[in-house]
Amino acid sequence: MTDRADVVFGALADGTRRDLLRAVVERGPCTATQLAAGRTISRQAVTKHLGVLAAAGLVRGERTGREVRYVADTAPLRAATGWIESTGAAWDRRLARLDDAVGSASRRAARQP
Amino acid sequence: MADEQIDRSVLLDADADDVLAALDDPDTLSAWLGEWTPDADGDGATVITDDGVARRVTERHATAATRRWTWSPTHDPAATSVVTFTVSTDAGRTRLTVTEHRMSATSPGAPVATASVRWAGALCALGAVLAVGSLVAV
């Protein structure tokens, strides 16, 4: 896995950040103040978490006047899961061939007197 | 760098001994995993998997119900993974579970369980995020 993926999953290792990322995806562009509303953490804490998500490329802040609105980007997530997806698919293929290989062996053994 | 792990399981219509043999025998390994060439001495091997990648296999370890080895692409020896096969019986059939665990390069002692929990949380987030259609294109 790349160091970039490490940053992505490090950012997502925290439940509050996962919750915030989910909220940004669901709400669309929104400010830290809007995200803090209804949560038990301060706007400053939200901003700090958003900074970590931004460093991982999972959100980015877009300034409009005095406001910074955050938008989500899931491209880093897709890139980070590359090894898991490709390796999992490779084992799916290999195990299908293994099924054929041991099945054939078992059938050969069953035919032997 | 964080750990990564995949798990796969398959039910096979074969005896457990036949499945274990398929994990040991070079000819059978060549039939399903890739062209398997044992080292002239020692337990190591080189296998060319179906993606065309040649991998060095080292540190092979066997128990009555498991096989484990370490492998890495020959062109990228640092990308080391530990592959573990576990064979068990399941309703008269043989269940083979394979786990490939790619250990962190910076925290080689990181417990697998901790890493799995972390990945489980991260992948839950991934699933939730990817299920939402209103994504922002870059």
How far apart, in whole angstroms, are the C-alpha atoms of residue A50 and residue A57? 10
For residue A32 the two structure tokens come to 């830290």
The three-state secondary structure class of A85 is helix
HSE value, Cβ hemisphere, 13 Å, CA-based, for A112? 6
pLDDT value of residue B58: 96
pLDDT tens column, B24-43: 999 999 999 999 999 998 78
A32 or B138, which is more confident?
A: A32
pLDDT tens column, A42-85: 999 999 999 999 999 999 999 988 899 999 998 888 777 788 88
Beta bridge partners of B90: B93
Of B19, B128, B136, nearest to A102 by CB-CB distance is: B19
Are A9 and B119 an interchain contact pair (Cβ–Cβ within 8 Å)? yes
Provide ipTM, 2 decimals: 0.72
Distance from the B39 Cα atom to the nearest Cα atom in chain A, whole angstroms: 22
How far apart, in whole angstroms, are the C-alpha atoms of residue A2 and residue B41? 34
Residues 6+ apart with CB under 8 A from A29: A62, A69, A70, A71
CB interface of B with A, residues 46-105, below 8 Å:
49-51, 81, 96, 98, 100, 102
How far apart, in whole angstroms, are the C-alpha atoms of residue B86 and residue B1? 27
